[in-house]
């Protein structure tokens, strides 16, 4: 088992971090592991969606669909009781509800004693993400289970004409998340099972040292980092984007395709002023770097 450290600010002891994560990705599957693969969180996550598994909006067009499955422990066999599942997706008119109290097409449910969950909603549709990119129809999911890193992933659908043109769905890592849609008793049905696994975890005490507001060293722009459910988040216009700890004081945005990345690299050697650099490459070979100092 490899061990890495997340170094606290000067004068504080280091916190040891360990992992039993996946062994190796061979281009099609994780060898020696059954972890469900991650995908990008996307910019439209909202926390605290209502506890409900029926997301159907009456009077609004859209094909009814039931999403169901089982959440299991890292052994891929034992059901996980009471795992929390958050689901969100766009409407039939390609819109995410980012600000109303209705939380349209957003909901949270818990697995039963057998690890089973289900949602009833209306099918999402492909939408224009800007810059000529059409994203295929998809569900967003976040699965939270104590003892494991929260699983952030997306579900796509067989036959969608935009699958091969979208970097996330075209990735080999998404292969097992492109699902068949069947029809039964007049309702579409999709089945998706999740297998949890351990990831690098950072203690709350360590996260508290780096959360807060930071100022761009050149432009003065303010960005805020905060902690939620044991993860580090970078605030955006809707809520935020979560980052996984990967060691050596570095966090990465999960689910990016090969050659693209967003990383937060921290310099914690200053007495009171933590610093970080955000390095972004949304396109292969096109990298930008911004430096921030804790305000």
* Burial category of 274 from C-beta neighbours within 10 Å (exposed 0-12, middle 13-18, buried 19 and up): buried
Say if CB 42 and CB 140 are below 8 A apart: yes
Say if CB 157 and CB 183 are below 8 A apart: no
Beta bridge partners of 293: 215, 275
What is the CATH topology of the domain spanning 20-195? Protocatechuate 3,4-Dioxygenase, subunit A (2.60.130)
DSSP state letters, 95-162: ----S-TT-TTEEEEE--TTSEEEEEEE----EEEETTEEEPP-EEEEEE-TTS--EEEEEEETT-TT
Tokens of 184: 């039964």
Tell me phi and psi for residue 233, to 5 degrees: -120, 145
| Residue closest to 139 by CA, chosen among 151, 157, 127 | 157
Tell me the pairing of strands 127-130 and 133-135. Answer: antiparallel
Q: Residue 218 half-sphere exposure, CB side, CA atoms within 13 Å?
A: 4
- Does pTM top 0.95 for this prediction? no
Spatial separation of the C-alpha atoms in residues 40 and 152, rounded to whole Å: 7
From first to last of the 295 residues of the chain, give the pLDDT tens digit: 222 333 322 222 222 222 223 334 455 544 445 778 888 888 899 999 999 999 999 999 899 999 999 999 988 889 999 999 999 999 999 999 999 999 999 999 999 999 999 999 999 999 998 888 899 999 999 999 988 888 899 999 999 999 999 988 998 889 899 999 999 988 999 999 999 987 766 777 778 888 999 999 999 999 999 998 888 999 999 999 999 888 778 899 988 888 899 999 998 765 557 899 999 998 888 999 999 999 8
Q: What pLDDT, on a 0 to 100 scale, did the predictor assign at position 134?
A: 94
Q: What pLDDT, on a 0 to 100 scale, did the predictor assign at position 75?
A: 87
| Residue closest to 127 by CA, chosen among 160, 155, 104, 102 | 160
Q: What pLDDT, on a 0 to 100 scale, did the predictor assign at position 32?
A: 44
Q: What pLDDT, on a 0 to 100 scale, did the predictor assign at position 257?
A: 85
DSSP state letters, 70-101: EEE-TTSSSB-TT-EEEEE---TTS----S-T
Spatial separation of the C-alpha atoms in residues 138 and 161, rounded to whole Å: 13
**Residues near 102 by beta carbon (within 8 Å), at least 6 away in sequence:** none
3-state secondary structure 204-264: HHHHHHHCEEEEECCCCCEEEEEEECCEEEEECCCCEEEEEEEECCEEECCCCCCCCEEEE
């Amino acid at each position: 088992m490899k061990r890495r450290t997340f170094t606290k600010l000067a004068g504080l002891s280091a916190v040891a971090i360990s992992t039993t994560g996946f062994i190796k990705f061979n281009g099609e599957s994780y060898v020696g592991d059954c972890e469900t693969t991650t995908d990008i969180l996307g910019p439209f996550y909202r926390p605290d969606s209502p506890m409900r598994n029926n997301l159907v909006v009456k009077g609004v067009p859209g094909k009814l669909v039931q999403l169901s499955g089982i959440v299991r422990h890292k052994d891929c066999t034992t059901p996980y009781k009471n795992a929390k599942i958050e689901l969100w997706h766009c409407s039939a008119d390609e819109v995410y509800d980012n600000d109303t109290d209705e939380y349209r097409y957003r909901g949270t449910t818990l697995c039963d004693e057998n690890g089973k969950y289900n949602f009833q909603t209306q099918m999402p549709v492909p939408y224009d993400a800007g810059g000529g990119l059409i994203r295929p129809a998809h569900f967003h999911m976040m699965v939270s289970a104590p003892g494991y890193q929260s699983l952030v992933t997306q579900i796509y659908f067989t036959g969608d004409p935009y699958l091969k043109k979208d970097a996330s769905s075209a990735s080999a890592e998404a292969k097992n998340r492109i699902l068949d849609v069947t029809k039964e008793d007049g309702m579409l049905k999709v089945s998706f099972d999740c297998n949890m696994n351990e990831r690098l975890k950072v203690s709350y005490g360590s996260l508290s040292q780096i959360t807060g507001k930071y100022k761009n060293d050149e432009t003065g722009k303010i960005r805020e980092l905060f902690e939620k459910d044991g993860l580090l988040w970078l605030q955006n216009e809707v809520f935020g984007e979560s980052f996984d700890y990967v060691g050596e004081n570095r966090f990465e945005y999960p689910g990016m395709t090969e050659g693209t990345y967003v990383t937060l690299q921290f310099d914690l050697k200053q007495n009171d002023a933590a610093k970080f650099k955000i390095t972004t490459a949304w396109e292969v070979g096109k990298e930008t770097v911004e430096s921030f100092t804790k305000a």
